[in-house]
A and B are shown apart, each in its own frame.
Chain A
Amino acid sequence: MFDFFFQLHPVIQGLIKGLAVIMVIFPIAGACSMAERKVAAWIQDRPGPNRAIVPWVAWIPFVGKFLQRLGIFHVMADGGKMLFKEDSLPGHVNKFYFILAPIVAMIPALTTVTAVPFGAYLDAAGKVIPLGLAPLDIGMLAVFAVSSLGVYSAILAGWASNSKYPFLGSVRASAQLISYELSMTLAVVPVFLWVNAPGLPGTMGFARVVEFQSQPGFLGGMWFGFLMPVSAFIFLVALFAETNRQPFDTVESEADLVGSFHTEYGAFKWGLFFVAEYSHMLVGSGVFMLLFGGGWNPLPWVSLATAVEWLGHVIPFAHAPLFVGVLSIAIFLGKVLAMIFLFMWVRWTLPRFRYDQVMKIGWQKMLPLSIANLLFYAIAIAFLQK
């Protein structure tokens, strides 16, 4: 069925795969902006966006009204507005870097996806084969390396805007991103110490991490979120800081910085920053779920292979690679979207930290905690895996 695809040139195959993934991530990032407004509305006990509707959908009796209340057409309205609004270019900016900054924001956000596996299928022998764009042996490092380039968009945007508030915002952004990268990197080290057990070839890839969370037995089936709760917590907090989400929203705190580094931006260029932020959140949530949330395993102590075996009693084609692949991607995507909901929940629950508090938490609390955590697990793992 797919023979023609495998006959294509490898570069064209790669392009098609990459485009397919981007075509999933881009609309989800757009839909997240809508979900953010709707979740905010639910938490604040108001209806939220519920007006926009395409005329001929309104003619469908009940469904049309329901979809309108759900507010899904506001995604199209927002997207259309961003595309067709006048894209103004202020006179006092450095034009080259001003235009470059939103592009630089998008590139790392979408490039990190290549190293993140998002599903798996079972081959004829029942072995779990991960699905992803590039099965890199150093997946985690690749994600860290490429996502650390995201800081340039903030720096360039703030500097090129040539006005006070954007510049302050970009200074804060670069300091914050570099500060929290440290504890984030240290937090994942115990995971890779654990999965690089003696006798196995060394790897920094995600496939092994998920494999270790889907083994039989009490300790084998345990997700790393339970096994290493402190690591998971540090990673989660650092993820909030890295993606500039509340309560670490000092970078674009409207109250004191107007709109931070994208104050001077409008229309589609601003939209690119927005989509890049949500893409970062999506990829970050995906990495969190792979490391600490069991990846594509449906439940703790229930691996994908076990679930497929159970389903095999009910559905005849449950072992087909296509079915398992779609099922695992659906499970993984569901977990990622649950994480996105957590991001929004926290945003509308916790107040924003002051900038000095952000720095204090990063350097005086998170960093020592992550070093102590690393030491503890290094010693514990050395004893357990002797």
Chain B
Amino acid sequence: MAPFLFTFFSLFTIATAVGVVVNKNAVNAAMCLLLSLVGVAGLFVQLDAYLLAFILLLVYAGAVVALFLFIIMLLDTHDSKAQGLNKLSGVAPLAALGLLLAGVSTFVAKGKLATSDLLTVPAAGANLKLYAYQLFTTYLLPVQVIGFLLLIAMLGVIVLSKKHEGLDDTK
């Protein structure tokens, strides 16, 4: 059952990810992104990383893509012509492919996905207490930095959306 589910979710994720890039209709692309996220969540579940899977669904699928769709529908991109692929958009996937190959070949060349390390991976993802403990000890600085970045983004939105009434340049 497990190999079948892995194959299914992998193919599903890749197919929908391709759909995000290829679709000219922005709404279709956003829906493909949503399905792709669901596929990744399915892969996480198979790694016993339930927390990651459901956080992914809750934050990205539940809120972020919903806001994407919201914006796409508000802007109503029906009539604007979607740009086709140009030379520059051919370079990006090639660069990504190169990076992917480099990453995979490094793993293969080193030849050790050390077995003992691999065994601890599901434990760290499945046990909530361990996960929280690591967030508040080992990874405290990254968490704080990301929180600070989000705060800056939020302040930026507040400043941008505030109505500057009475200023000369708004008239």
Q: Which residue of B lies closest to A154 (CB)?
A: B66
Complex Cα distance A149/B129, Å? 27
Which residue, B63, B130, B132, has most C-beta atoms of chain A within 10 A? Answer: B63
Report B49-63 CB contacts with A as 1/0, cut-off 8 Å. Answer: 011001101100111
> Given that A159-B73, A171-B74 are known contacts, is A152 also in contact with B51, CB under 8 Å in the complex?
no
Of the candidates B1, B34, B50, B55, which one forms a contact with A152 in the assembled complex, judged by CB atoms under 8 Å apart?
B34
- Residues on the B chain within 8 Å of A97, using CB: 27
Q: Is A324 an interface residue (CB 8 A)?
A: no
Contact A174 B70 (CB under 8 A): yes
Contact A155 B69 (CB under 8 A): yes
Contact A145 B55 (CB under 8 A): yes
- Residues on the B chain within 8 Å of A178, using CB: 63, 66-67
Q: How many residues of A contact B (CB 8 A)?
A: 27
Q: Is B127 an interface residue (CB 8 A)?
A: yes
Q: Which residue of B lies closest to A9 (CB)?
A: B1
Q: Is A138 an interface residue (CB 8 A)?
A: yes
Q: Is B17 an interface residue (CB 8 A)?
A: no
Complex Cα distance A202/B132, Å? 9
B residues in contact (CB < 8 Å) with A: 1, 27, 34, 50-51, 54-55, 57-58, 61-63, 66-67, 69-70, 73-74, 126-130, 132
Q: Is A181 an interface residue (CB 8 A)?
A: yes
- Residues on the A chain within 8 Å of B1, using CB: 11
Q: Which residue of A lies closest to B73 (CB)?
A: A159
Additional pairs, 15, CB under 8 Å, beyond known A97-B27, A171-B70: A138-B54, A142-B54, A145-B57, A145-B61, A145-B62, A148-B58, A148-B62, A149-B57, A149-B61, A152-B69, A155-B70, A159-B27, A178-B67, A181-B63, A201-B127
> Given that A202-B128, A202-B132 are known contacts, is A151 also in contact with B66, CB under 8 Å in the complex?
yes
Contact B126 A137 (CB under 8 A): yes
Complex Cα distance A137/B130, Å? 14
* Minimal beta-carbon separation of B162 from chain A (angstroms): 15
> Given that A97-B27, A167-B73, A202-B127 are known contacts, is A141 also in contact with B54, CB under 8 Å in the complex?
yes
* Minimal beta-carbon separation of B102 from chain A (angstroms): 34
> Main SS of chain B's interface residues?
helix
Q: Is A136 an interface residue (CB 8 A)?
A: yes
Nearest first, the 6 A-B pairs at minimum CB distance are A148-B62, A202-B129, A202-B128, A145-B57, A145-B58, A145-B54
- Residues on the B chain within 8 Å of A174, using CB: 66-67, 69-70
Complex Cα distance A201/B126, Å? 12
Complex Cα distance A174/B58, Å? 14
Q: Which residue of B lies closest to A196 (CB)?
A: B129
> Given that A145-B58, A146-B57, A148-B58 are known contacts, is A137 also in contact with B50, CB under 8 Å in the complex?
yes
Of the candidates B50, B55, B61, which one forms a contact with A136 in the assembled complex, judged by CB atoms under 8 Å apart?
B50
A170-201: which residues lie under 8 A (CB-CB) from chain B? Answer: 170-171, 174, 178, 181, 196, 201
11 A-B pairs in the complex with CB atoms less than 8 angstroms apart: A137-B128, A138-B54, A141-B58, A144-B54, A145-B55, A148-B61, A159-B27, A159-B73, A174-B67, A196-B129, A202-B130
* Minimal beta-carbon separation of A238 from chain B (angstroms): 15
* Minimal beta-carbon separation of B59 from chain A (angstroms): 9
Report A105-145 CB contacts with B as 1/0, cut-off 8 Å. Answer: 00000000000000000000000000000001110011011
* Minimal beta-carbon separation of A206 from chain B (angstroms): 14
* Minimal beta-carbon separation of B18 from chain A (angstroms): 19
Which residue, B66, B67, B129, has most C-beta atoms of chain A within 10 A? Answer: B66
Complex Cα distance A11/B4, Å? 13
Of the candidates B63, B67, B129, which one forms a contact with A148 in the assembled complex, judged by CB atoms under 8 Å apart?
B63
